[in-house]
Chain A
Amino acid sequence: MKRKSERAITRVVIATGISSVVTQLLIIREFLAQFQGNEFVIALILFNWLILGGIGTLLARWVTRRLWKATVNRLGWLSLVLAGLPAVQILIIRQFRDVFFIHGSSVGFYPTLTFTFFTIAPYCLVLGFVLPYSLFVIRTENPDYPGTRIYIIDNIGDVSGGALFSFALVFLVTPLQAVCLANLLLVLSTCLLFRVSSRHHPAVYLGTGVTVAILAVGIFLEPTSLDPSKGKLVFYSESRYGRIQVQQDRDQFTLFVSGNPLYGNQNLSMAEETIHYPLAQLHQINNILLISAQGGMMVELEKYKPSSVDYVELDPQIANVQFRFGLIKKIPGLNVIHQDGRAYLAGSDKIYDAIIVNLSEPDTFQLNRFFTDRFFALARRHLAKHGVLSFAMKGYDNYLAEPQRRKLSSLYNTVTDYFDNVLLLPGQKIFFLCGSQPLRTDIPALLAKKGIHTRYIRGYYYGNLTHERIERLNALIDPTAPKNRDYSPQLMRLMFMQWFAKFSTSPTGFIVVLAILSLIYLIRISAEEFVLFSTGFTVMGSEILVIFAFQIFFGYIYLQIGMIVTVFLAGLLPGAWFGDRLRYKSKQTLAVADGLLIVLMGLLIIVLKQGGDYLPVAFFLVFGFVISLICGFQFPVALYLRGGDAPAVTRTFSADLIGAACGTLVTNVVLIPYCGIIWSAAGLIGLKLCSLIVMVVLHEKN
C-alpha cells in the first residue's frame, strides 16, 4: 500500500510538472496577446510566475504545520484545483482585461505588473505549494524519502511538458484545447491517487466531474472569448510564433498578430511610402528583397515591373493569411520564403537592388537583430552598387520626443558605418533610406519622371514632408549617440525608455521595492540557499543569453530554440541524480560546481568574442545542457547540507525559484540592454564568484 500511494503521488507530481509548463507557456502567450509584447513584459510575466511559485513553496511548510496536515486526500483535492485553474485563468485574463482597462488601449508597466500578478497568483501559489506538499505527504508514510527525488520527478514532468507543448501542442491545438489535454493527465493521475487512498466519497466524483467540465467548457467558450467587440473574427490560428487573427469590419480586413493590429487591406498610404521612397531613388530595378510585407505593397511594387521579388516572412501563416484575405497579392516574379530574414540573407548569394525591411519596432531581442551593425553590414553585402536599403521607425506628427530622437540617432550612427548616404524622411513612419549613391528628397518628381502613379504621395507629400521638416529631422540627429550592436542592443534600452515615457511612468519605484525585498531575503537565507539562489539566477540568465546569442548567429529558428529551452530543463535531471550520489562530499562539491559554472560562463564570453560566427548549433545545446546539469547537481547537495527536513526543502526549492525569477528580470531588462551580452555574462560570473566566496568562507568557519 505504501509503495502504491508513493507511485500514485509520483504520477501526480509528473502530471503537475507537465501541466505547469504547458500552462506557463500558454499564459505567457496569452499575456503577450493581451498586453504589449516587449521584452520587459515577457520578463515581468516570468518573474511574477517564478516569484509566486517561490512564495507558494515557502508557504507550504508553514501551512502544513499549522493549518493543513499533509494527507493524500488533500493532495488530491489540490491537484484537482490545479487542473481546473488554467482554463479559468485564461478566460479571466481574456475577459478581465477589458474590465480593468479601456478596450483597445495599451497598458503601462504598473497596471501590467498588477494585472499579471493577481491573475496568475492563485495558480502559481497552489503550484508552488503542491511540490513540497507532495513530499510531505510521501514522508507521512516514508519519513526517509529524499527531497531530491521529488525535485527529479518534478523535472521529468517539466521537461515532458516543455517538449509536449513546443513540439506538438503548439502546432495542433488552441490554447484551451492544450490546457484541457495537458490537465486531463493531471485529473487522471489524481483519480488514481484517490483510488489508492480508497476515497470513493461522492464529493470526489463531483470534484473530478466539475474539473473535467471546466476543462471541456473552456474549449466551448474559446471562440466566444476571442470575439472582437467590433466586426467579426474571420480567421483565428495559433502559430508557433503567436496568435494570428483577422478581423473583418465591413470591407476592411485587419491582421492582428498577438493582439496588435499589424496590417490591413486599406492602408494605401503606408504601402506607397514604404515602397516608393526607396525605389524612387533607383534607375534600374530588377531584384527586390522584402523582409516582411504589408497590405498593398505588392501592388505598388508591381508598378516597377521587377524581375524578382523575394518576400521573406518568418511565420508562414502570416503570409498565407495576407494572401488569402487580399492584403497582399501575388505578382509576377514573387518568391515567398519562410525563413528568418537575417538567416536568409546570411545564407544567400543573391544581390538586390533594394532591400526593404518592413518590421515593427525593435522591442524584442529577436527584432533588434534587424537594426544592428552586423545586419547592416550583411545587407550592404547583398546590395548592388547603386542599391538602397530601407527600414522605418515609428513616426511623429509635429515634435520629435527625446527617447525617439536618441533611438533614431543610434540607428543613424550605426547604419552610416556601412552606407555613404543616409536620409531620414519623416512620413507616417520615419523612413531610413541608405545607399552609396546620393539620395533625393523630391520623391513625387522622381516618380513622375518614371511614370509611376501614386495617390497618397502625389497629393500629400509636399504638405507632410516639407523641405523644412526633412531638414529639421536630419539636423536633430545626435552624432554621439551609441551605436546599436548585436552584442550591445542600445535600441532595446531606448525602446524601454520610450515605453515608460508613453505612460509617464518610471520603473524606479518597482526597482527600489524589489531591491529592498531582495536584500532582506538575501540577508535572511543561508549560504547554501544563496548558492541555489545564485545558481537559479545564473541558469535563467544564461538561458536568455544563449537564446539571444543563438538568434544573432542563426536567426530565429523555432524548433532549435525550443530545443535549447528543453536542454536547459533536461540537464537538471541527470544533474540532480549525480548530486544525489555525491551529496555526501558536501561543501567542496558545491564549491567545485560553482567554479565550473564560472568557467563555463567565461568560456561563453571567450567563444562569443573570438568566433561566435563559427559556432555549431551543438555548442549552444551542449552548453545549455551542462549549465542546467550543474544547477541540477547543486540542488541535492545544498538540500543535504541544509538537513533535508521540511523547512530545508521549502527554503531550498524557493531559493532556486526566487533566484530564477530575479535572473530572468535582471538579465532581460537590465543586463543585456544596459551592459550588452559580454558584460551580462561577466555579471553572472560576478554573482557566482560571490556565491563561491560565501561557500569558501563558510567552509573555513566550520
Chain B
Amino acid sequence: MKKISRRHFLYCSAGFLCSAVQANAFWPFSAEAGAAAGPADIRGHVFKGDAPEKLWKWTHEGYFYTKLDNKLVMCGICPNRCLLSPGDRSVCRSRINMDGTLYSLTYGNPCSMNVDPIEKKPLYHFKARSKAFSIATTGCNFRCLNCQNWEISQAKPHEVRHYELFPADVVKTAQSTGCESIAYTYSEATTFFEYMIDTARLARDSKIANLWISNGYINQKPLLKLCEVLDAANVNLKSFSDAIYRKLNGGRLQPVLNTFKTLHEQGVHFEMTTLIVPGYVDDAEMVKQMCRWILTNLGPDYPLHFLRFFPRYKLDRLPSTPISTLVRFRKLAMAEGIHYVYVGNASYPEGNNTYCHNCKKLLIERIGYFIPTYNLDGNRCKYCRTVIPGRWT
C-alpha cells in the first residue's frame, strides 16, 4: 500500500473540508427547516380574570355551554372548549363567565358592516351577481399570523367602535340595501354564534339567505343547529397539516374536517378556501392529499378556491405566492378530480371563470366582481344541460 506524505495528507484534508463546507455539512440548520422552526403551537389562552365587572347592553347568555362545580362553565361552541372560572374571558375574547353563567358580549353590536358582492366572500356557486349584507363583531377562536382582519378578530368587544344592530335591524338593513343574503364574516362568526343564529332565523323568515364565512372551527352540536338556517358557507381549509394549523393559526385540523363532513351531510352548499402561504402551504404533495380527502369524503362538486397570500399582520416577512404556483395547484386539484377549482387574489382570468365540468364550456366569466358572461340556465349548463352544483337562484 502506497504511503501518504504529510503534505499530501494536509492537501487532501483541506480539499475535503472545503467541499464539506460548500455542501453545508457543518451547517446545523437547513434552509428547508424554515417551516419546521420556531414555536410549534400558537394557540390562544383563556384570559384569567379579564371579564368586565358589569354586563353591558349587548350581552346574551350563551346557547351552548355546560355548568360545572364551583361556578365553572365550559363553553361548547368551538373545540377550544374554554373552561372559565367566574371572571374569566374565553380564548375568542367574546365570552365570559359571570357568576357561573356564560355570556356572549357580542349580541347586536357589530363593529363592521358592508354591502359586498357575493363573489367577494368568495362564493362563486351561490346567487351569482347578488349582494351580501356582511356583518362582524370582534373575536376569533384562532390566532392566524396572517389575519387580514386582525384589528377586530384579535380585539375585545369594548376595544372597538361598534354599531347597535340587533337581529331584526340586521334583517331590515339587509332588505333596505337590496341584499339577498346576510354574510356573517370578516372576524370569526362562530364566536358570535347567538347573534348569528338569532339573526339567521329572522332572515330565513324574511326570505334572506344566510352565509357563514368561517374557519370551520366549531363543535358538532352548534353546527347542526346552525345548519338548520344556513344557506351557504365558505369555510377555510387553511392547510392539510395539523402542525401548520397549530403553528400559523393556533387551531387543529380535525375539527375543521369534521365541519366539512357535517355540512355535506346536512346538504348545505359550501365552498372551500385555501390560502397558499409560501413555505408552509405550497406543498404539492399536501395539496394532493387534501384533494383526495375532499374527493373521498365530500365528493368532487364543492368548489375549491386557492387564494394568493400577501404579507399581512404578523406574517409580513414572506413573499407573496407566485401566481404560477396557484395555477399549478388548480391544475393539480382538477387532475385529482375536483370539478371547480378557482384562483383568487391574483390576476389570472381563467382561474376566476366557471367552466362546465362536463362540456368544459365557459359558463361564467368573472372580471373581478364584474360578470360579463353568464351561460347558466337556472342551475344547468346552457350548452349541455348538465346540472352545475351550487344554489344559483
Contact = CB atoms under 8 A, between A and B. Distances in A.
Interface residues of B, number: 63
B319 A254 contact: yes
Contacts of B26: 217, 221
A266 B134 CA distance: 30
A670 B334 CA distance: 57
Nearest to B147: A397
Contact of B151 (A102, A401, A460): A401
Given A261-B317, A502-B313, A95 B31 contact: no
Contacts of B134: 398
A251 interface: yes
A399 B319 contact: no
A316 interface: no
B115 interface: yes
A267 B111 CA distance: 30
A105 B145 contact: yes
B152 A252 contact: no
A463 B369 contact: yes
B119 A463 contact: yes
A224 B248 CA distance: 26
A229 B279 contact: yes
A511 B313 CA distance: 26
B335 interface: no
B67 interface: no
B131 to A, nearest CB: 10
B38 A230 contact: no
Contacts of B222: none
A250 interface: yes
Interface in A250-274: 250-252, 254, 256, 259-261, 264, 266-269
B248 A250 contact: no
A643 interface: no
Contacts of B180: none
A221 B24 CA distance: 8
Contact of B318 (A261, A462, A502): A261
B21 A102 contact: no
B324 A468 contact: no
A398 B324 contact: no
Contact of B317 (A95, A106, A217): A106
Interface in B254-286: 278-280, 282
A201 interface: no
B117 interface: yes
B145 A102 contact: yes
Contacts of A462: 369-370
Interface in B1-33: 21-22, 24, 26-29, 31-33
B322 A252 contact: yes
B55 interface: no
Contacts of A217: 21, 26
Contacts of B117: 463
Contacts of A230: 34, 278-279, 282, 318-319
Interface residues of A, number: 58
B247 to A, nearest CB: 6
Contacts of A461: 368
B193 interface: no
Contact of B316 (A260, A268, A398): A260
A402 B159 CA distance: 9
Contacts of B368: 456, 458-461, 463
A409 interface: no
B48 interface: no
A285 B116 CA distance: 34
A228 interface: yes
Interface string A237-252: 0000000000101111
A99 B36 CA distance: 9
Interface of A is mostly: mixed
A101 interface: yes
B112 interface: yes
Given A458-B367, A463-B119, A502 B319 contact: no
A221 B316 CA distance: 26
A396 B151 contact: yes
A619 interface: no
A396 B153 CA distance: 13
A566 B275 CA distance: 49
Contacts of B28: 95
A283 interface: no
Interface string A388-425: 00000000111111101000000000000000000000
Given A102-B248, A250-B325, A466-B114, A261 B34 contact: no
A267 B38 contact: no
A101 B322 CA distance: 24
Interface in B318-366: 318-320, 322-325, 346-347, 366
B311 A261 contact: yes
Contacts of A401: 151, 155, 160
B38 A249 contact: no
Contact of A252 (B151, B314, B319): B319
A468 B37 contact: no
B314 A106 contact: yes
A504 interface: yes
B148 interface: yes
9 contacts: A95-B29, A98-B37, A102-B38, A103-B37, A251-B323, A252-B322, A398-B114, A458-B367, A463-B117
Interface of A: 95, 98-106, 217, 220-221, 224-225, 227-231, 247, 249-252, 254, 256, 259-261, 264, 266-269, 396-402, 404, 455-456, 458-464, 466, 468-469, 502-504
Given A259-B317, A398-B186, 9 more contacts: A106-B315, A229-B34, A249-B278, A261-B316, A264-B319, A397-B148, A398-B152, A399-B111, A459-B366
